[in-house]
Structure 1
């Protein structure tokens, strides 16, 4: 029998060729974007730390708002809703850490090898992380805002005041609080995806969001003390310059989202309003996220 007519072992039933043929995934079962999002959602929600951080964020917000409202309830002009946003100062830390965990999880656990083998284009994985982290942060933010509202009830009841959540721009403030917390989660994800390590990412975001505004304001106050030379009326003072810089930082831009309509901004700083504040905050998110996408495509992840 000639070589052309001789059947090979690969062509035999159950041979290697048959194994290769049957090992191919059927059409419609590839890693489409919806499945990648589901995978990233499962990774994020299956972590014990995710649940712990979420619960801590809600509890801390309730406690801080409750304490602030009770402390203010002795004032004659007590308005319970004025204390609604007092818990955000620490509440934002939780979403930041959640976003960092979502952005660095692939690299800290080593699962990026199998993930990028299944999704060689890589960028859909980053986009799926944004969707999953944003959706989960939205749930946490809604629960956090609800906890802040609930914390006002005891103090308001003690003064016989009913909470009207539809008056004085309160709906806009509540939406702004929700957007604030979701944006912090996305900022944490963007920095985490860029640095690929949780410790440097947490350090950088905490300094940028919490420490830097305080240091700038404190340094400006010390520099413009009572012994400082007077500043001409037509020349911006150092305090005004610092306040302008703080306004364009992530926390300053986010703070614009939770101000009641008609309230004044920081003295000496431009009054950007909530819409421009949202754009500035979006820029802070997109900048490291774009850099993370470029690094993901241009460099090896091993």
Structure 2
């Protein structure tokens, strides 16, 4: 074999291992994790979720501590009224980040199949949200301790279904982060996705409940069941992401009057559907349309 032929053969052999080291899912995941954890906004939004969880729980427990039958564990989920918003907005920013900054061109050039990028964003967001959720739940537990101590009550986290409540709180927070990611990945515009996610999870339930209260005659005779309008509104609110997710934190409480009795498993399934449906739409859009 001549020297040039040997040199050419060596170059081909040296290029084959390099070609095998393509954009594997592990590398795509590492890239998305680095993007997520290198942004200051990720930690800021995570900190907001933790602080809001602890602060609202503390205020609720202190306000309830004057009641004769005060149970500190009854205030444990009070922070979930607003705490999920921080993680939901974080998910939106992850889902829209590639498109708002224009880096999708280089990303999808390196990963032409595109779907591994979306899958890696889901895993990275879930991991970051899980850590944040655990800290937020810990902050909620600390938030009820001062009120319990003032009444000489012990905080028992092992009985009466409390472990299920704590697990449900964690899953709810992670689920809301993934819901935000799904909406962001589908809409690809940060402001539009944030407004949509907040409208569906926070504004719409409040508007529906206010509309029902305004349309109900307080002087009307009390019937055996809720008015038809109230039953419809309760059903809609239960099937929204925030309503379904809250069922994860109430394993021992029945359904709202007029609404379907989904229970924690049903609530988790509905929340999962709110995540999977827009994610599927985002995946179809990635594969069948331009990335712009």
Which residue is 1:201 aligned to?
Answer: 193
- Please tell me whether residue 131 in structure 1 is matched to residue 109 in structure 2: no
Which residue is 1:266 aligned to?
Answer: 256
- Please tell me whether residue 238 in structure 1 is matched to residue 229 in structure 2: yes
- Please tell me whether residue 81 in structure 1 is matched to residue 73 in structure 2: yes
Which residue is 1:44 aligned to?
Answer: 36
Q: Counterparts of 1:15-94 in structure 2 under 5 Å? A: 26-94=18-86
Gaps of 5+ in 1: 1-10
Provide the secondary structure at the position in 1 that maps to 2:143.
helix
1-structure distance, mates of 2:223, 2:46: 49
Q: Provide TM-score, normalisation by structure 2.
A: 0.92
Contact kept, 8 Å, 2:251 with 2:263, in 1: the verdict is no
Which residue is 2:213 aligned to?
Answer: 221
More divergent stretch after superposition (82-91 vs 69-78): 69-78
Which residue is 2:291 aligned to?
Answer: 301
Deviations 1:71-130 (A, max 9, x none): 111111111000000001110101101101110111111111111111110011101100
Contact kept, 8 Å, 1:99 with 1:133, in 2: the verdict is yes
Gaps of 5+ in 2: none
Shift in alpha-carbon separation, 1:43–1:112, aligned structure 2, 3 A? same
Provide the secondary structure at the position in 2 that maps to 1:76.
coil
Shift in alpha-carbon separation, 1:21–1:109, aligned structure 2, 3 A? farther
Which residue is 1:275 aligned to?
Answer: 265
Q: Provide TM-score, normalisation by structure 1.
A: 0.89
Q: CA deviation at 1:225?
A: 1.9
Deviations 1:153-172 (A, max 9, x none): 11111111111001111011
2-structure distance, mates of 1:55, 1:135: 15
C-alpha RMSD of the superposition: 2.4
Q: CA deviation at 1:136?
A: 0.6
Q: CA deviation at 1:22?
A: 6.3
Provide the secondary structure at the position in 1 that maps to 2:154.
coil
Aligned length in residues: 290
2-structure distance, mates of 1:131, 1:12: 47
Runs of 4+ in 1 over 3 A off after TM superposition: 11-15, 17-25, 230-236
Question: Which protein is bigger by CA-based radius of gyration?
Answer: 1
Q: CA deviation at 1:227?
A: 5.7
Which residue is 2:274 aligned to?
Answer: 284
2-structure distance, mates of 1:66, 1:132: 30
- Please tell me whether residue 183 in structure 1 is matched to residue 175 in structure 2: yes
Which residue is 1:247 aligned to?
Answer: 238
